[in-house]
Amino acid sequence: MMEGRLVLGIGLGFSVLTSVLLAFLFGTSFDLSFLNIFLLLIFAMGCGGVLSSLLHYMLPRKRAVGGEVVDHDSHNTEALLKKPRIDSLISSSGAVKVTSATENDNKDIGSSGQNNCSNNNSGSDVVGLANMALGDGNPPDIDEDLHSRQLAVYGRETMRRLFGSNILISGMQGLGCEIAKNLILAGVKSVTLHDEGTVELWDLSSNFIFSGDDVGKNRALASVQKLQELNNAVLISTLTTELTKEKLSDFQAVIFTDICLDKAIVFDEYCHNHQPPISFIKADIRGLFGSVFCDFGPEFNVIDVDGEEPHTGIIASISNDNPALVSCVDDERLEFQDGDLVVFSEVEGMSELNDGKPRKVKNARPYSFTLVDDTTNYGAYAKGGIVTQVKQPKLLHFKTLREALKDPGDFLLSDFSKFDRPPLLHLAFQALDKFVCEAGCFPVAGSEDDAQKLISLAIDINLGSGDGKLEEIDQKLLRLFAFGARAVLNPMAAMFGGIVGQEVVKACSGKFHPLFQFFYFDSVESLPTEPLDPDDVKPLNSRYDAQISVFGSKLQKKLEEAKVFMVGSGALGCEFLKNLAMMGVCCSEKGKLTITDDDVIEKSNLSRQFLFRDWNIGQAKSTVAASAATSINPCLHVEALQNRASPETENVFNDAFWENLNVVINALDNVNARLYIDQRCLYFQKPLLESGTLGAKCNTQMVIPHLTENYGASRDPPEKQAPMCTVHSFPHNIDHCLTWARSEFEGLLEKTPAEVNAYLSNPSEYTAAMKNAGDAQARDNLERVIECLDGERCETFQDCITWARLKFEDYFANRVKQLTYTFPEDASTSTGAPFWSAPKRFPRPLQFSAEDPGHLHYIMAGSILRAETFGIPIPDWANNPKKLADAVNKVIVPDFQPRKGVKIVTDEKATSLSTASVDDGAVINDLIMRLEESWKKLPPGFRMNPIQFEKDDDTNYHMDLIAALANMRARNYSIPEVDKLKAKFIAGRIIPAIATATAMATGLVCLELYKVLDAGHKLEDYRNTFANLALPLFSMAEPVPPKVIKHQDMSWTVWDRWILRDNPTLRDLLQWLKDKGLNAYSISCGSSLLYNSMFPRHRDRMDKRVVDLAREVARVEVPPYRNHLDVVVACEDDEDNDIDIPQVSIYFR
């Protein structure tokens, strides 16, 4: 309607203007009869329609209008549409209509069932914003560049369900804001924010959206604009008056973060009994205590319990028994469990198993299992076969909140040292609700009277609990619970925001197992070690008052004066920066936060790294993140650097820098960088807070000087790499095909063109280097350069098509023919075993066909990228299938005859496919002569354009070519093909990531940060965590202490470093060690030996300064920013037993 009014208005305006203009031009009184006006009106409305359409496409529409708010109460309309639950989503093919100007704008919203929309007076305002967010009601396509990491976790189907989901969040304090952030980043269809209260200074401790200017405004209204910036594809609206249960019918899931139990019970029962049921979540944060309750209805179908890929195995043998024994090759351990269902395929001989019928596994072992099947009368197993797990859905029956309060069932545990804590907290939260209902306010921090009243209420509730009555109540814990009950702490909000956000995704999609049904958590260990004085927790009229009410003003001062180094400002880094700013860390003149990251912002970052916006793409991450963090808290004292923390930047991050730090926070995405920072923290004895995520999983590790082991003390085993011969000749899964495809891509389009340019830049130097090398690698390099400049040089786009077509024949026909000629299907190994036995798969050559879309897609991508390397213009018809097919059919493909004596590498330990030859030198000389001849034929200034693989640009044809190469190879070996997205995940080595896991990890780390900066906490106070939000699983445990080495009355760990000052001589060093009962027999610096007791001439060095010896013998240049030198000393005791001592540092300045 709004567009119709716009057109009508513009048309009327044009009619009047046109009439006046004509009268003016003709200089007469123009006859404005009804007919003339009518005709002019029609003409002008047409012009107006054209102009409106032009404006529609010309004006930017992605970003929402700043400050535009949709308030359901003030407009008296129901703008959000109810979508059916997950069961309906699977089977329904209906459409949901969105009211718009014309019927043509009523489009299908995915497969979300049918519903009606009734809009009142100002519904057009809501629809206007909906159109901006959702593109005129069309189901939004998944932006794979933006959501690639999330797609790797959820898959397309889950994402589509999310895109059709409407969510209500009631309570916009810190927890509500965190949940909203995570869901908006995930890309739900709409989020409605409900809150009747106004922003208080108190809220600034936990809600990163609010600023001092928002105090006094409605919380929901104050949140809309900044939340909208996170994702313009999500419709964000508000409710600011009392919520009624009837309004809940507009949503798939409703979340309450600030609601009394009585009202929650009413709302939950409405949601539970609604058809279809509405998922209900109640979450509370009270100081260092938190709770979550989930009710997804009487019957909730979990489609995918854990989100893991179905496990598979390659069959080696199957017995004709009852039950049958299935053995698999020892290529990889089987992950089957007893009771799993599996299906068989490609089994030869015992073909009865290929019927697709799921069969139950029992007696699962690492490389075998038995079937609950009698195969006695089946055909005898011959060879081959794949066994694949069949993932089963799970039906859950949720209780209502009223029922679950009385009979909560099993609580989800997070810390097994607190196994008795959940029942007590179940009681505590009920007592707090009763306290607030009676007193009209929360207990006052530090008030013993309020704490005793809450304890009394808890005791009364416990007495009436019947069989669920607790034998003993920990009053000390309830006292701590009462003191912090009013506060919403940012780290707790971040942690629970991740947990609850993930539960909402489960509710809307059926992906992953829901939390069933209560989860309680506390982190009382984060409190200061010294008892808090009541005066210390009184409010100071500051933004940190909520945090002060829990931790006291003394710890708050320590937080503000901390000196913190954060390495990385990506997904983890953005969350950490937000948390630190909210906590007040480094927010005084004495404090300082240094962040560093050498990366720049890419589009794929925006779905998780919430401090960045699309206009920041290409800018430095650390700079943008620091700026965004200061907008959250202007007092944050932060310096942003773009240096990679590495040995090369130790002039930037020098000794003085490290020695001045209180704590280091890692926000990194690779192990090598983590290990380097770990070594620096060890060296300077600084606490390191480590965390990481992988899909729905996250872990945290606390590295505390002298208390815990360091990060590098225990490592995961290295990832198993497929042997080179498997990748190049004997692939048996799509990963092998994609590894090969990426290797070929880089060889053809990056390495060879770069090698060509290296030769052309300096021919004489290049050829001299090849002669000096004189090996198989040099020979291969020369052959590739000659091939590129001579036999395969392209001058026209048709040449590029020819090259791609001939490569197809080489890769997918000729090489396979040669392989099967050298090793026929009946070939045997030297032991007489069949050569083509599992896991090897016998290949078949492909016959090219321009009618095959896969073949033609390969030609298109290959020829376009080949043209790019040669700087050849790409014609408009390059991606036209018909014209491309005509061009490729012109290519003459020579016949191929397999040759005898061709060596194909089959050794799994081989590291190169190139074979050395005694006459490599002579061959290289001949190749250099040929190369010089090719060079003479090149046009002046000829250079190639190497292409560096970029996975996150879907328009560059990189992934098109890699996916096509991999899928053609998969066809050769009868391996199931994958789509381009799946190929991108594997070949691009994309790490799956979602905002919820990141938020949870950083929240947990910041709870540990309180302990680190308070100082004085014991090992048992710290927690390392592993969590899997998909299951859900939370496993918290004390860190492992470091290994202690003892000698005489001394002991030390990896954390110790022995320091000698005053520029000692070699004799001084030896005597210093002797005084400790240690006899040094070797002292080295770097790779040079400064002293060895076996060498008599080394005794002449006794009176030389150690630093002078290092300069003289080891050629060490000590930079001006360093005032010490490190040496490694090998010692033994008086009984000649070797003793590992700490590193020794010699201070000379």
Secondary structure of residue 939 in the 3-state scheme:
coil
Burial of 598 (0-12, 13-18, 19+ CB in 10 A): middle
Q: Tell how far CA 158 is from the center of its chain.
A: 17
Distance CA 1128, CA 1139 (A): 12
Distance CA 360, CA 362 (A): 7
Distance CA 864, CA 983 (A): 19
Parallel/antiparallel/unpaired status of strands 300-302 and 289-295: unpaired
- Tell me the one-letter amino acid at 433: D
Q: Produce one character per residue of 366-387: b if its CB has 16 or more CB atoms within 10 Å, e if not.
A: eebbbbebebeebeebebbbbb
Nearest Cα to 344, choosing from 310, 302, 377, 389?
Answer: 389
Distance CA 792, CA 785 (A): 10
Distance CA 1024, CA 943 (A): 54
Whole-Å CA distances, 1134 to 1047, 1053, 1080: 11, 21, 11
CA atoms within 13 A on the CB side of 968: 32
Distance CA 1119, CA 1097 (A): 29
User: CA 706, 707, 710: angle at the middle one, nearest 5?
Assistant: 80
Helix axes 123-134, 2-26, angle to 10 degrees: 90
Note whether 1054 and 1083 are within 8 A (CB): no
Tokens encoding 358: 């799921």
DSSP string, 455-499: HHHHHHHHHT-GGG--S---HHHHHHHHHTTT-B-HHHHHHHHHH
Distance CA 1062, CA 1149 (A): 7
Note whether 78 and 118 are within 8 A (CB): yes
Phi and psi for 1037 in degrees, rounded to 5? -155, 160
Distance CA 953, CA 603 (A): 9
Q: Catalytic residues, which ones?
A: 725
CA atoms within 13 A on the CB side of 719: 4
Q: Is 913 left (phi over 0), alpha (psi -120 to 50) or beta?
A: alpha
Note whether 698 and 691 are within 8 A (CB): yes
Burial of 556 (0-12, 13-18, 19+ CB in 10 A): buried
Distance CA 637, CA 590 (A): 9
Tally Cβ neighbours within 10 Å of residue 939: 6
> What residues contact residue 467 under an 8 Å CB cut-off, 6+ apart?
none
Distance CA 71, CA 747 (A): 58
Q: Cis omega before residue 517 (within 30°)?
A: yes
How far apart are the two ends of the chain, measured CA to CA in Å?
Answer: 79
- DSSP letter (8 states) at residue 1097: G
Distance CA 179, CA 798 (A): 55
- DSSP letter (8 states) at residue 532: P
